[in-house]
Structure 1
Amino acid sequence: MSGARHDHARLGDGRGFIVVVVLWMLAALAALALIYLTYVTNTAVTVAVNADRMQADALVNAGLELAAYRLTGQDEALRPTSGTFNARVGAGRVSVTFRSEAARIDLNMAPKPILAGLMTTLGVSAMDAPVYADRILAWRSSTEPGQDNPEDAYYRTLGASYLPRHAPFPHSDELWLVRGIPSAVVERVMPFVTVFSNMKTVNVLDAAPQVVAALPGMTPETLQQVLRDRTDPNIDPRSLIGLAGSANATTEGSKAYRLTVAVEAPSHRRSSAEIVILLLESGDEPYRVLSWHNAFDGSAGKPL
């Protein structure tokens, strides 16, 4: 009798062990299901975000192509130096503003009076502005190999780990490397300079007021008149050159254009890019991208 009870107890223990194992297996399966569900959810979110980004990138590229087509499709003599347009691309929206780089001051071509004039316009003292302009000229000016250069000595004295390039600026961001110019001044100058216009002159039709004010001999009264007259459709644009009274004033554009492309994807996510292109007159490609800066905030809001 006791043996039967013993066998029954062993059977009960075995069943209890099986129940525990089954419960552990169920818990493990539940954990796996939860992990899989989390993975699928995260994957779906990632795919959705990536899809939005891909759509936004495609719309930005469409805006770039449309702008290049509009510009290259016109004779160079009749080509606008600035403008804006909106377009629908599929279910997305594109807004493009374009402006010739001649509206900016070229760091590689501008003479000292314009560089100093820009800094003075931006609040630099009349004593410091020419000194800062000299630093820019010294950075871009070539030098003979082995020749003692005072600007090189200046950088060594400051303990810089590099010397001036003694060649053209490849990008306006390199202005941050020029020693002797306060960073606050560089920050103020950056929105008004370029390295892509390849022009000593400035387009007074499109330039920002600060750039027009930088022209040698420009007075506040003349500046106001130039800004007023250039908005008058009845004024001959060429008259602005005489009004500006500077050999560095022009109404011509450069072959480089700065595009601001703002897009809204079907999901209402927005993105934008600032792109500089060079229009090519020959070859298989109508243009070349010189600079590209993306900005993606993923925000949703009112349509463009």
Structure 2
Amino acid sequence: MSGARRDQAGLADDRGFIVVAVLWMLAALAALALIYLTYVTNTAVTVAVNADRLQADALVNAGIELAAYRLTARNEAARPTSGTFNARVGAGRVSVTFRSEAARVDLNMAPKPLLSGLMTALGVSATDAPVYADRILAWRSSTEPGQDNPEDSYYRTLGAPYLPRHAPFPHSEELWLVRGIPAAVVERVLPFVTVFSNMRAVNLLDAAPQVVAGLPGMTPGLLQQVLRDRADPNLDPRALVGLAGGTNATVEGSKAYRVTVAVELPSHRRSSAEIVILLLESGDEPYRVLSWHNAVDGSAGKPL
């Protein structure tokens, strides 16, 4: 092969190498562009989600503030034990429902007949309900240090890695730790109990029918009459207490309120939260948050 041909062949090889190199560089740039595009897209989505969450939190807080204002603006005697209202806050909408915790059975204050009555109303047999109520009473009852407590022995016999608290329930979910109560019963009971009312009685005006049915001495016929009469705006609420026998029944409210706030964002996304607040009679703050459950991500804040 002559020198000219060799030079032409070498030039062709060099050109081929350059073309391949350029193609590899273009492919690398395309990959980098795709990575960058993915990053930008994910960042934009994250920013949008975070912005919605911040807006939702702001609207929920606005709903709590509005509810607290409505409640504290009236003296305790005239304060409503339940209510609902809607409001527009900026470009968002807020729907608020508030109800005194007296509508629920207090795990720390309720006597045995009320605890067992609630379970019976929820389908637990009349034989088992008092036994389960005893388990709750034993969990919350104090004991002297070093005292041989039968309930402690019961937990040791079951092989439990803990003993009863022998102190008030800090939150309702601790009911899951009480041994001797079936999980199905605990699940049924939790929507109707609280640890925040600090009352032995339940409010007849606001309590769920299941709670009213659990009052000692309540019969099916009497239950229907109470539910019918409490819907009459002209009836003296105090008459309901007499109708229900007066035992563990009241029309008074608690200083703790359960506030449900449903919000609609400007983006039309919806969110909700359930908060328990305690109205304060003095101090710089009108209320204190006791419990918070945010339905956006299912997170639950433990009581403070």
TM-score w.r.t. length of structure 1? 0.95
Q: Secondary structure of 1:238's partner?
A: helix
Structure 1 position 211 matched with structure 2 position 207 = no
* Superposition map of 1:127-206 within 5 A: 127-206=127-206
Q: Secondary structure of 2:68's partner?
A: helix
Q: Residue 215 of structure 1 contacts residue 246 of structure 1 at CA under 8 Å; is this kept in 2?
A: no
Q: Residue 101 of structure 1 contacts residue 257 of structure 1 at CA under 8 Å; is this kept in 2?
A: yes
Q: Secondary structure of 2:98's partner?
A: strand
Structure 2 letter corresponding to 1:119:
M
Q: Within 2, Cα distance between the matches of 1:26 and 1:57?
A: 46
Q: Secondary structure of 2:295's partner?
A: strand
Q: CA deviation at 1:219?
A: 1.4
Structure 1 position 6 matched with structure 2 position 21 = no
Give the match for residue 107 of structure 1: 107
Q: Within 2, Cα distance between the matches of 1:182 and 1:288?
A: 34
Q: Residue 118 of structure 1 contacts residue 211 of structure 1 at CA under 8 Å; is this kept in 2?
A: yes
Q: CA deviation at 1:4?
A: 2.0
Q: CA deviation at 1:8?
A: 2.1
Percent identity over paired residues: 87
Q: Within 2, Cα distance between the matches of 1:222 and 1:15?
A: 99
Q: Give the paired residue count.
A: 298
Q: Residue 270 of structure 1 contacts residue 297 of structure 1 at CA under 8 Å; is this kept in 2?
A: no
Q: Within 2, Cα distance between the matches of 1:215 and 1:136?
A: 17
Give the match for residue 48 of structure 1: 48
Deviates more, 1:17-26 or 1:3-12: 3-12
Q: Secondary structure of 1:6's partner?
A: helix
Q: Within 2, Cα distance between the matches of 1:63 and 1:126?
A: 42
Q: Within 1, Cα distance between the matches of 2:123 and 2:30?
A: 68
Give the match for residue 301 of structure 1: none
1:5-30 Cα deviation digits (max 9, x unpaired): 22222222222211211111111111
Q: Residue 85 of structure 1 contacts residue 95 of structure 1 at CA under 8 Å; is this kept in 2?
A: yes
1:157-216 Cα deviation digits (max 9, x unpaired): 100000000000000000010000111111111111000000011110111111111111
Q: Residue 108 of structure 1 contacts residue 168 of structure 1 at CA under 8 Å; is this kept in 2?
A: yes
Q: Residue 91 of structure 1 contacts residue 265 of structure 1 at CA under 8 Å; is this kept in 2?
A: yes
Q: Secondary structure of 1:296's partner?
A: coil
Give the match for residue 237 of structure 1: 237
Q: CA deviation at 1:226?
A: 0.9
Structure 1 position 25 matched with structure 2 position 21 = no
1:64-120 Cα deviation digits (max 9, x unpaired): 111111111111111100000001111111111000000100000000000010011
Give the match for residue 98 of structure 2: 98
Q: CA deviation at 1:247?
A: 2.7
Structure 1: gaps of 5 or more residues: 299-304
* Superposition map of 1:110-121 within 5 A: 110-121=110-121
1:127-168 Cα deviation digits (max 9, x unpaired): 111111000000000001111010000000100000000000
* Superposition map of 1:256-271 within 5 A: 256-271=256-271
**Ranges of 4+ aligned residues in structure 1 off by more than 3 Å:** none
Give the match for residue 39 of structure 2: 39
Give the match for residue 302 of structure 1: none
Give the match for residue 293 of structure 1: 293
Q: Within 1, Cα distance between the matches of 2:179 and 2:200?
A: 24
Q: Secondary structure of 1:83's partner?
A: strand
Q: CA deviation at 1:61?
A: 1.1
Deviates more, 1:67-76 or 1:130-139: 67-76
Q: Within 2, Cα distance between the matches of 1:247 and 1:10?
A: 106
Q: Within 1, Cα distance between the matches of 2:167 and 2:38?
A: 55
Deviates more, 1:180-189 or 1:34-43: 34-43
Structure 2 letter corresponding to 1:206:
D
Structure 2: gaps of 5 or more residues: 299-304
Q: CA deviation at 1:297?
A: 7.2
Structure 1 letter corresponding to 2:249:
A
Q: Secondary structure of 2:252's partner?
A: coil
Q: Secondary structure of 1:97's partner?
A: strand
